[in-house]
Amino acid sequence: MNVVAKQRVQSLQAAEHPLFNDRKLKLGTFSTNLSGGCAISTIDGTLNASWPESLSLAQMADQMGFEALVPVGRWKGFGGPTNFNGEGFESFTWAAAVSAATKDAGVFATTHVPTIHPIVAAKMGTTIDHVSNGRFVMNIVTGWFKPEIEMFGKGQLPHEDRYKMAAEWLELVKRLWTEDKEFDHDGQFYQIKAGWCAPKPVHKPYPPIMNAGGSEVGRHYAAKYCDVAFVVFTTHDKDEMRKQVAAYRDLARKEYGREIKVWSYAYLVQGETEKEARDFYNYYVHEKGDWVAASNLLDTMGLNAQTLPPEAFSWIKEHFIAGWGGYPLVGTKEQIVDGLKDLSDIGLDGSLLSWARYEDGMREFQEVTYPLVVQAGLR
């Protein structure tokens, strides 16, 4: 690890940023700013895009000491009976409001690079960092949902060019956050004259950065530029998952001399018995799942019956309906805890969590399951 990278890790730990505490498995919430949350289902009780409910989830997570509150950047829904994620709150303004109403959790804003100029992103990020007293985290997304990018009157760039744009974008945001003099920039994607941002973020030299690159170029982007990599597992075989996490860390260390944190996400389906949990899973996924919205979502990712074998496509679609493609934690409270142990054992630093009936499920987790998570030594 080079000197600059080592200093970066030490500064994040010294500042006691929640993402860099010493808990064995850090936890967070995912997509609490959007209708449906992470469950693509027509059941009653899924998440509404209402501020009282979104705020309640953030404060519940904060009370449990969760380290991360991660919204999804979304400008358009995925159709189907639910128009999944079609209603929701813009993530920067959501993060500012949540920051003012919480005390300890890291608060993320998720940005689609083509939709926001780096000067605006830097200024809004600084504002959130001050409101949260240094708890802000920037989650960078290059913009994969073509209809959203086209809403802004822009064409979708080729995949590698999106990451070139994201690299230039992040370089400018970091300069705006750290440089004490105005600067000019004439790049491939951005031109800035006398660029400047003040005040600077509370967290010095700049807040943590996260990215969820899954492609080869995306993984290199996260390993080279970011502090946290977000992994989407392509299998639920624990040995293969362990290899996927280790490969991310090795890439950052060997190619770029850097140390990164690796997170993923899981959806929870809890019951008094395993049968009760699996019956509810079958109900909200197989009986009430919005398969049209799920197909639309996967199709825009290039995942469909033409690009994947039938069994693989069916497997992926099922887990997207159940919880945005996350890792399944289905069973009793004890089985949920065992599953979280497994995620820690494969090398993850943290996991975002979601529930089909978000508020009810999270309340049960807080009252019934979370004490067992602490007792297990994960917290």
47-87, pLDDT tens digit by residue?
Answer: 999 999 999 999 999 999 999 999 999 999 999 999 999 99
Q: Show Cβ contacts of residue 119 under 8 Å, excluding neighbours closer than 6 positions.
A: 172, 176, 192, 195, 197
Write out pLDDT tens, residues 274-291.
Answer: 999 999 999 999 999 999
**Mean per-residue pLDDT over the chain, rounded:** 94
Tens-place pLDDT, residues 201-220: 999 999 999 999 888 999 99
Q: What is the pLDDT of residue 154?
A: 83
DSSP labels, 265-318 = EEEEEE-SSHHHHHHHHIIIIIITB-HHHHHHHHHHTT-STTTS-HHHHHHHHH
Distance, in Å, from the CA atom of 18 to the CA atom of 50, rounded to the nearest integer, reads 26
CATH homologous superfamily of 3-368: Luciferase-like domain (3.20.20.30)
Strands 191-195 and 183-186: antiparallel
> Residue 302's pLDDT band (boundaries 50, 70, 90)?
confident
> pLDDT tens-digit profile of 104-162?
999 999 999 999 999 999 999 999 999 999 999 999 999 889 999 999 998 889 999 99
Cβ atoms of 114 and 150 within 8 Å: the answer is no
Q: Any bridge partners for residue 336, and if so which?
A: none
- Distance from C-alpha of 67 to C-alpha of 62, rounded to nearest angstrom: 8
Pairing of strands 327-331, 350-355: unpaired
| Residue 1 pLDDT level (bands cut at 50, 70, 90) | low
Structural tokens at position 123: 């200024």
